[in-house]
Chain A
Amino acid sequence: MKIDLEDTIAAISTPIGSGGIGIVRLSGDKSVEILDKIFRTASGKKAAELASHTITYGKIISHKKTVDEVLVSFMKAPKTYTRQDVVEINCHGGVQAVNSVLRACLDAGARLAEPGEFTKRAFLNGRIDLLQAEAVSEIISSKTENAKRAALSKLGGRLSGKIKELREQILSAEAAVEAAIEYPEHDDEIVTRLSARQTAGTVLEGVRELISRADFGRIIQNGINCVIMGRPNVGKSSFLNYILDEERAIVTDIPGTTRDVLSESVSIEGIPLNITDTAGIRQTGDVIEKIGVDRSFEYGENADIIFMMIDGSEKLTEDDFRILDFIKNRRAIIIINKSDKKSEVEPEELEAYAEKENIITVSIKQNHCVEDIFRRLKAMFLGGEIEIDDSACVIGERTLESLKKAEISLMNVIDTVDSGFPEDFISMDFTDAYAALGEITGETLEEDVIDKIFSEFCLGK
């Protein structure tokens, strides 16, 4: 990891090629100096004379040529995103203009920023905590609008706030334990073991809640991994095409046309899906086709959910049962297709393999009841209740690990009390849980407990 806060860095901070304007951003001590070399205001004012947090119209000049007409905002440290001097040059959009402006900045002495370097500076200069820094990187890389909103809410410190709240509860309980230990003759009845257990329970609930959301967070960040399985020619590719709304997979009436695996990422009603269509599954002598079939099961293994398609106009076959056995204990929706034809399969027959509400009869060809599939999908993953943009928080791997550490420590506290061990053994795990949650927000223990003891209890000789 190369860390250098001394250079002045520059980068294009809007998506390239889209949008009417593009922004080139500079951060560092030399921002003004560099701007001065390339920027001419209409009034002839020098860059150094610009007032902080104002916008000024002018031209970018490089190699004595006007590169673009721009608006420049200058923000003086420390009230900036990176806590350094920041200059933002608003130029024309598209590829040409922004690139030329960036080139002019680099020629004037700036260094091209590495990805995420502005945020890194913001973190290193104490402008944002680690959690918020992670959220920024998630906004940059999040795939859907909902993920972005979740990431934004984290940036607003919602997760930080929740963690702080949990830590505060631990701290109070821990301070009570410590006060009781430190001042054995204190007259106030400091009930410690049972209240410690109670606090551990409450905080544990909170931690678990966050852990469960982590799974949800992963889904909205990365998408639900869906795999379509079924024997050949039951309508898998039609289903995928329906979703993609374009002819991507080859749809024919000849079984076995989809021999490999097709994957697409789409967003349906705000839920990101990574859909994989697989080769039709049947007993086959064809070596290549057999590889495809094996792959299908492999994808099925790793899916968040399997869409199993059945041709409702034909009796269930041995190949169908092979797949049904496979999905039996997995998360799956059985789609009985071709309801436009005479039905040969009754949903009841399939109830041994899936919950009733996960068996849906449709006609993809006639667009009959297909929406039910997505409604069901949403219910399964979002419990049908959670509004995505409400309490969602994106929880990164590092955070999840810390939450799990805290979970174990809190369970230890409960275990310690239940096994009849005295106060002293509670502290160790409370301290660990407190530290684990502190890792998430980047805070350390220091003198917190001692400060708390003396602020909450009247102690001392």
Chain B
Amino acid sequence: MENNFIADVCDVAVIGAGHAGCEAALASARTGLKTILFALNLDSIAMMPCNPSIGGTSKGHLVREIDALGGEMGKNIDKTYIQNRMLNTSKGPAVYSLRAQADKARYHREMKRTLENTEGLDIKQGEVTEILTNENGVCGVRLESGNIYECRAAVLCTGTYLMARCLYGDTIIESGPNGMRNSTKLSLCLEKLGIKLQRFKTGTPARVDKRSLDFSKMDIQYGDENITPFSFENSPEDIYREQIPCHLTYTNAETHRIIMENLHRSPLYGGVIKGTGPRYCPSIEDKVVRFADKERHQLFIEPEGEDTNEMYVQGMSSSLPADVQLKMYRTIAGMENVKIMRNAYAIEYDCLKANQLRLSLEFKNVKGLFSAGQFNGTSGYEEAAAQGIVAGINAAKYVRGEKPLIIRRSEGYIGVLIDDVVTKTSKEPYRMMTSRAEYRLLLRQDNADLRLTEYGYEAGLISEERYQRFLKKKDDIENEIKRISKITFAPKKEVNDLLSRLGTSTLTNGVKYTDLIKRPEVTYMDLEEIDPERPSLSPDVCEQVNIQIKYGDYIKRQMEQVEKFKRLEGRLIPEDIDYSKVPSLRIEARQKLEEIRPVSIGHASRISGVSPADINMLLVYLN
């Protein structure tokens, strides 16, 4: 009964309009390709079904990198934030982490508006049930209606919707997140294409009614006074607004008692949920069981938006039954009379074993089919968007017959993320963390533009005007560093006056400008009054000069490590290598190498199950 009606023809079809799908569709359309974005429900475009925030440690880095590439997430949160904070400012510039609380409804609306007004981009509601292929790879997608949309490349961004079901207690709802319909047919089609899927699990806490909370029993948390925009195109003044605070409260012994008494009613502990849950997003049951000696766990009460009373209870995700949820929430200070508006639940879904993807995010076995986001086994809006923009750029490049964009681990968190996702076989949803980036002193959120704007420009996502501004910024930084590197301060009165005011030791001999900046108490900005020759520079440039000088010795060492890394990455492995002919590989290593088919020795060395000895064997063989 398939009607085979060809409804439309496009270059790139994007399946799913979550955070990955939006970036992928925008990236493709903005390079001038005809793009169609399919969503199960247009009201769920850029929906945030879990926490109402964007950014945070390492995720903030991702957002800034997306922005440097010409993506939308940074701009969209700058439009719709209700609180903005820079975290970790005492722990070093590489781990400064920007986070914003979002107004969820506005975030959705603004993103939808941007999509709707993007030339060459069509948005369609409907369930894609089939990926159509011919001898050249992907050639179209079929909707549940039977209608066919022909395309030359497709990007899967199906998030947590495939065969999804939500659970709490013995309540099982066959649906996607947040009560949205799930997708039940695409999994089967993918398996027919030879794509291997697995089952993952995650969860979310309850949403509660603001009117039922007593904030006087909680600590209040304000945003920063001086806010930092996510997008390099915005200045703080552009996006200034009144901010809304969050609140902090804690679980207690009574909460823990209720949880322990009802543990057997959790589908997770009862064995109903089979998916693997993430360690970094544990349910409150998990926390109480695993860290039994901890007397309390902290909970953040975060508004879901400005025009709603719904509040998100961060730290209290659960799959316990509804009655237990209410009981345990009501033990918490300030929540004694809480009314739950949406219950906490766990969600199980089909996702990809991502080692079937190349570093370009294209499937190894289906030409023209790309995949991004939570479907690739990751977690988080930012991780999804980061993959989305890369998959979108590469789908467009594929259609044009160009080489894909591959960001190295030494160039961006996005590079680390994608390399990890396609190389390591994770048993749980993958979350970005700063400790996963081995060169993180170079991959700072402040210099994301310096690292990646060139790629965005090359992909056609950065305007000429923005590019010229970027080039000027780069020049300014370089020239200023050159200038001050030649200056030495004599132990003059004005110098020593300033230094003692800054609380650092005064000079008896001449000291280099750069060495003064390296003192913990001193910044480049502080020295303006004793540096009459200083040109007028933007705050961004000053920040870069300060960081690059202050931490120069560490940065230099890290750059040397990158050189070593590049040598291993440069040792390419022939695509047609037959691992059964490489002598002395251990069986496990042989299987893993065969499965992942790494592109270089460096890549091979990151595969879990491949030991240094195996790498030696491989090197010997290649020689």
The interface of chain A, by Cβ under 8 A from chain B, is: 1, 3-6, 123-126, 178, 180-187, 419-425, 427-428, 431, 442, 444, 446-447, 449-450, 453-454, 458-461
* 8 A Cβ contacts from B517-567 to A: 520, 551, 554, 557-558
How many A-B residue pairs lie within 8 Å, measured between CB atoms?
Answer: 109
The interface of chain B, by Cβ under 8 A from chain A, is: 51, 57-58, 87-88, 90-95, 97, 250, 278-282, 287, 290-291, 294, 297-298, 300, 314-315, 317, 424, 433-436, 438, 440-441, 520, 551, 554, 557-558, 583-584, 586, 608, 611-613, 617, 620
> How long is the Cα–Cα vector from A444 to B604 in the complex, in angstroms?
13
Contacts of A425 in B (CB 8 A): 92, 441, 551, 554
Closest A-B pairs by Cβ, 10 of them:
A424-B92, A420-B520, A422-B92, A458-B291, A423-B91, A454-B279, A184-B87, A460-B280, A178-B435, A187-B298
Q: A124-B613, A184-B87, A446-B608 are in contact. Are A428 and B558 (CB under 8 A)?
A: yes
Task: Tell me if A428 and B554 are in contact (CB < 8 A).
Answer: yes
**B293's closest neighbor in chain A, by CB?**
A458
Contacts of A461 in B (CB 8 A): 51, 281, 314-315, 317
Task: Tell me if A431 and B438 are in contact (CB < 8 A).
Answer: yes
Distance to closest chain B CB from A121 (angstroms): 9
**B50's closest neighbor in chain A, by CB?**
A461
Given known contacts A3-B620, A182-B435, A461-B51, what 19 new A-B pairs fall within 8 Å (CB)? A1-B620, A3-B584, A6-B583, A178-B433, A181-B91, A182-B58, A184-B87, A184-B88, A187-B298, A421-B551, A421-B554, A424-B92, A425-B441, A428-B554, A449-B435, A458-B287, A458-B297, A459-B280, A460-B281
> How long is the Cα–Cα vector from A262 to B423 in the complex, in angstroms?
61
Task: Tell me if B95 and A424 are in contact (CB < 8 A).
Answer: yes
Q: A4-B583, A4-B584, A184-B87 are in contact. Are A427 and B93 (CB under 8 A)?
A: no
Q: A460-B280, A460-B281 are in contact. Are A422 and B91 (CB under 8 A)?
A: yes
Contacts of A447 in B (CB 8 A): 424, 608
Task: Tell me if A424 and B433 are in contact (CB < 8 A).
Answer: no
**A442's closest neighbor in chain B, by CB?**
B612
Contacts of A3 in B (CB 8 A): 583-584, 617, 620
> How long is the Cα–Cα vector from A104 to B317 in the complex, in angstroms?
72
Contacts of B314 in A (CB 8 A): 461
Q: A123-B613, A126-B586, A425-B554 are in contact. Are A185 and B87 (CB under 8 A)?
A: yes
Contacts of B424 in A (CB 8 A): 447
Contacts of B440 in A (CB 8 A): 424, 427
Task: Tell me if A428 and B57 are in contact (CB < 8 A).
Answer: no
Q: Can you spell out 7 A-B residue pairs with CB atoms less than 8 angstroms apart? A: A3-B620, A182-B434, A424-B91, A424-B441, A428-B557, A453-B435, A461-B51
Task: Tell me if B435 and A450 are in contact (CB < 8 A).
Answer: yes
Contacts of A444 in B (CB 8 A): 611-612
Q: A450-B436, A460-B279 are in contact. Are A181 and B95 (CB under 8 A)?
A: yes
> How long is the Cα–Cα vector from A431 to B435 in the complex, in angstroms?
10
Task: Tell me if B57 and A181 are in contact (CB < 8 A).
Answer: yes
**A187's closest neighbor in chain B, by CB?**
B298
> How long is the Cα–Cα vector from A180 to B436 in the complex, in angstroms?
15
Task: Tell me if A454 and B435 are in contact (CB < 8 A).
Answer: no
> How long is the Cα–Cα vector from A425 to B298 in the complex, in angstroms?
28
Q: A181-B88, A187-B298, A444-B612 are in contact. Are A424 and B93 (CB under 8 A)?
A: yes
